[in-house]
Chain A
Amino acid sequence: MESNDPISAEAVRSLVPWRTTAREVVEKLGAPTEVVQLGRRSAYRYDASSSKSAGLVLFVFNMFAQDMRTDRVWAFFDANDVLTHIGATYGTHRTQYALPWEDVHEADDDALRDAKRPGVLGK
């Protein structure tokens, strides 16, 4: 199950603090999911999520596991709508089918998946 398309890491990397404006951020990333007012400054949130569920049905005893990961990007703007900071986390490509006894947080597995997603490792 997914909500929103995964965020383009390459588009996010093209944003330059103290140069990119809010208008340019919206042109590249689209409409934000949320806008938060921070005094005279503001922050835009972009997000997407992906979840995978697996189950073992033995009728009397059943087991289920759900793994959900999100892409999150927060863009912070000053009072003149110029980008000052940007934070990004990419997780939708790490979602996996797993049963309750399986570890879904293995660093090696995450690193392999990161390498396959353009822009996440700075390529």
Chain B
Amino acid sequence: MLHGSCMQAAYTVRYEDNPVSTGVLVRLRPGEDDLESCLTSLGAPHHVFEYNYDGMALLWHHVDSAAWAVTVSMNVARNAPGARFSMDSDSATMPGAMLWFDRDCRLIKWRQGLMRDLKPGFRPRPADLEQQDRDDR
């Protein structure tokens, strides 16, 4: 026998920065555009990674997500423990764009997609001081 129950629903949206313009991306020309022209067109990236030792990869992303959350709680009987049920429907994704540059800072290629697909394999590394010493010699 139900003695008391409560249901709550919440709708939450989250924005983070502006999306990278697809119109700007499609106008980029690999082999012709360089780091300077890309920074002018797209602004500062969110992340920079080393690519093939002397190249680099730049990543832009944004958040535009909406999520529903439903919470139901009830007492099923007097002196019995309460029950609570909740459900989240989160459509959060983090779309973005990545640009790759060679050692001369010339654009090699660009891709649009989700961050989890664009970012794997890129990890900032600390400076290799021994390698720099060898280069200096």
> A residues engaging B (CB < 8 A)?
34, 36-43, 45, 59-70, 72-74, 76, 84-89, 91, 100, 104-105, 110
Interface string of B29-48 (1 = CB under 8 A from A): 00000011001001111101
Q: How far is the CA of A37 from the CA of B54 in the complex (A)?
A: 9
Contact B46 A72 (CB under 8 A): yes
Q: Are A62 and B15 in contact (CB under 8 A)?
A: no
Within the complex, what minimum Cβ distance (angstroms) separates B137 from chain A? 13
Interface size class of B (residues with CB under 8 A): 35 or more
Q: Is the CB of A73 within 8 A of B17?
A: no
Restricting to B8-38, which residues have a CB under 8 Å from any CB of A?
8-19, 35-36
Chain B residues in the interface with A (C-beta under 8 A) = 7-19, 35-36, 39, 42-46, 48-50, 53-56, 63, 66, 103, 105, 124-128, 132, 135
The CA of A91 and the CA of B46, in the complex, are separated in Å by: 12
Q: Do B50 and A68 touch across chains, with their CB atoms under 8 A apart?
A: no
The answer on a CB contact under 8 Å between B17 and A43 is: no
- State which of A45, A66, A70, A84 has its C-beta within 8 Å of the C-beta of B14: A66
Chain B residue numbers with a CB within 8 Å of A68 are 14-17, 63
